[in-house]
Structure 1
């Protein structure tokens, strides 16, 4: 198993993390809409990959708080940030996001959250914590995000298609409004596997009557290689692109 992942401008070590660098985190880090100003919150930062991608995209101009519950992952994320080109832009905070206290209101919140609803409990405690909603139920995640979001802030996350309906119901019930939904397919003929999504608070969005933006992205082309759209999205990060 690889000890890390090399991007064009930084390296992510992830051997101490329950969840390694994967497609979901890379998609979210490249896709999330950056604010022109304000602070960013990364919920469940893991190795720090999403925070570092956002730091690269903003050239270190945005202050990013990366909150991670697991001790080993938080330590690894701290090391990754320290050895990156933007050590001053990211603050790694070891702790539970549900008890995280701050007066800061964030212009952007990003999360690649736990998503399994009813799966069997994993014997690996860290992997269970990183993957199962028992550690961060959707209503609790939405409530916390709402409490620290700036008035016109955005909440961007990625979820498997199997978890989308449950999350959508919880979000709408809590007063969130979906601003953008991007359906991800591994190949054109395959079903949707995951959704990138951007949410705002319902009352503020409703006043502007903004329509929901629907997009789609196919990861692999007919020949099995990466599609042109995927290459364009990740070209600043993948060495091969």
Structure 2
């Protein structure tokens, strides 16, 4: 088992994390729209940061100039995230907090909230308690996640996340019921002709329905290699791109 993942500008140790660095986090870390200079509150929040991969990707994209709060429930993952941040080029940009986001209290409001949340709702439980916590919505139900994100979001801010296609309908229903509107959604497929495997998405609080910006991403091309679009998206992070 790999002890970590090397990006071009930083290294992520993940041997003490239930969920290792994977395609979902890497895609979300580059797809999420960064706060604009016009927003009065440019801070960012990473919900369930795990190894800290999303926070470090955001730090790289912003040159460490926008403060990031990373909250993680699991003790071992939070400790590993803190080490990863300390050894990165942006140790002062990210504050790792070991705690439950549902009880996290702050007066700060965030222009971007990002999360690669638990998504299994009715699957068989894992025998690994930390993996169960990281993958199943028992610890962070969609409705509770959306409510907390709304409390922490700055006016005009965005909530960006990634979910498997099997969980998309349930999450979208919960979001719409709480007054969220989908600003953008990207359907991700492993290759052309394959079913959509996951959705990247951005949600905002809005009183009126929005015209959602719809896009598509193929990870692999017809030859089985990485597609040109995937390479371009992740070229600042993957060593071999």
The answer for the alignment partner of 1:100 in structure 2 is 104
Native 8 Å contact 2:158 2:204 kept in 1: yes
The answer for the alignment partner of 2:2 in structure 1 is 2
Q: Secondary structure at the match of 2:196?
A: coil
The answer for the alignment partner of 1:133 in structure 2 is 137
Aligned pair partner of 1:142 in 139, 146, 155:
146
The answer for the alignment partner of 1:118 in structure 2 is 122
Query: 209-218 or 86-95, which moves further after superposition?
Result: 209-218
- The offset of 1:210, in angstroms, is 4.6
Query: 30-39 or 17-26, which moves further after superposition?
Result: 30-39
Task: Report the number of matched residues.
Answer: 237
Q: Secondary structure at the match of 1:226?
A: coil
Q: Secondary structure at the match of 2:221?
A: coil
Q: Secondary structure at the match of 2:186?
A: strand
**TM-score when normalising by structure 1:** 0.97
Q: Deviations over 1:146-173 (max 9, x none)?
A: 0010011000000000000000000000
- Where do 5+ consecutive residues of structure 2 fail to align? none
Q: Does 1:79 align with 2:83?
A: yes
Q: Does 1:217 align with 2:217?
A: yes
The answer for the alignment partner of 2:66 in structure 1 is 62
Q: Does 1:47 align with 2:51?
A: yes
Q: Deviations over 1:184-227 (max 9, x none)?
A: 00001100000000000022xx3xx7521000000000111000
The answer for the alignment partner of 1:228 in structure 2 is 228
Q: Does 1:30 align with 2:34?
A: no
The answer for the alignment partner of 2:203 in structure 1 is 199
- The offset of 1:36, in angstroms, is 2.3
Q: Does 1:14 align with 2:32?
A: no
Aligned pair partner of 1:179 in 183, 186, 198:
183
Q: Secondary structure at the match of 1:12?
A: strand
Native 8 Å contact 2:44 2:67 kept in 1: yes
- Where do 5+ consecutive residues of structure 1 fail to align? none
Native 8 Å contact 2:181 2:210 kept in 1: no
What is the aligned-residue RMSD (CA, Å)? 0.7
Native 8 Å contact 2:119 2:135 kept in 1: yes
Q: Secondary structure at the match of 1:193?
A: strand
